Amino acid sequence: MSADAAALEPAVDAADPRSGDDGFVFDAGAFACVAAGRDLTGYACRFRSDGYRDDLFAAYAIAWPSQLDRAVVKRRSDYLAGRICARRALVALGLGAVDVPIGPDREPVWPAGVIASISHAGDRAVCLASADPQVVGLGIDIEGRLPPGMAADIRNEVVDAAESAAIEAHFADPVQGLATVFSAKESLFKALFPQVGEFFGFEAMRIAGLQPGRIEFAATQTLAATVREGDRFAVDYLLDGEDVRTVACVLRRD
């Protein structure tokens, strides 16, 4: 990711009395990010699934969704950590403590006037948000090292032969490069979903250019009136050890 979007590893937020280690959430803090020339507001944390309890929802004043009634502990802890980040990011935007329910396609339902995105991987969760009227799509994704055997499965599903060759040529570690492109397409899907309104596959976006910290994609098909075949979208990325973080910020087109 370009230097403007590199602050995705926040320091503990001393202004937040719950930013220390409470047994579930730790290393929590707000961060600022710039993508597509726009200031964005974020909040990130680390969390322990083995420190999760159902009563933490009430402790954090997060509404329990019925979709979690049959979910395993890992899913419940991922959801809670993500919603904690979302609530604190929205507070930082000045919206107060509001709930972010689950929509019909399992997407977060944001307050009117807000564009935002949540991601979690391993013991990390993050939310990025904006109330800028020029921002019509926002996506963030975090990924760790691809487990053994998963790279081949992802390669067959996420990229075509030309994209795979571009990854091999651009990244010193092709497995991490594949994870980066996978993450970037996930971020772009999140950013475009509000305009498209339905699921679309990885093949709908193809690598059109690779630069240090940035991937440009071209739409291979028309998905909406504002997302047409040939349209290009940039996604910023940051490599941090074996982890990758990607941000897609889509602006209104006049």
Q: Are 185 and 158 in contact (CB under 8 A)?
A: yes
Q: What is the DSSP string of the chain?
A: --GGG---SPPP-TT-TT-S--SSEEEEEEEEEEETTEEEEEEEEEE-GGG--TTHHHHTTPPPPGGGTT--HHHHHHHHHHHHHHHHHHHHTT--S----B-TTS-B-PPTT-EEEEEEETTEEEEEEE--TTEEEEEEEEE-PPPTTHHHHHHHHH--HHHHHHHHHH-SSHHHHHHHHHHHHHHHHHHHHHHH-S---GGGEEEEEEETTEEEEEESS--BTTB-TT-EEEEEEEEETTEEEEEEEEE---
In this structure, what token pair is assigned to residue 75? 């899913």
* Known binding-site residue numbers for Mg(2+): 141-143
* Residue list, annotated binding site: 75, 83, 119-120, 141-143, 186, 190
Tokens of 150: 């998963």
First to last CA, the chain: 26
| Binding site per annotation, positions for CoA | 75, 83, 119-120, 141, 186, 190
- If phi > 0 it is left, if psi is from -120 to 50 it is alpha, else beta; for residue 54 that is alpha
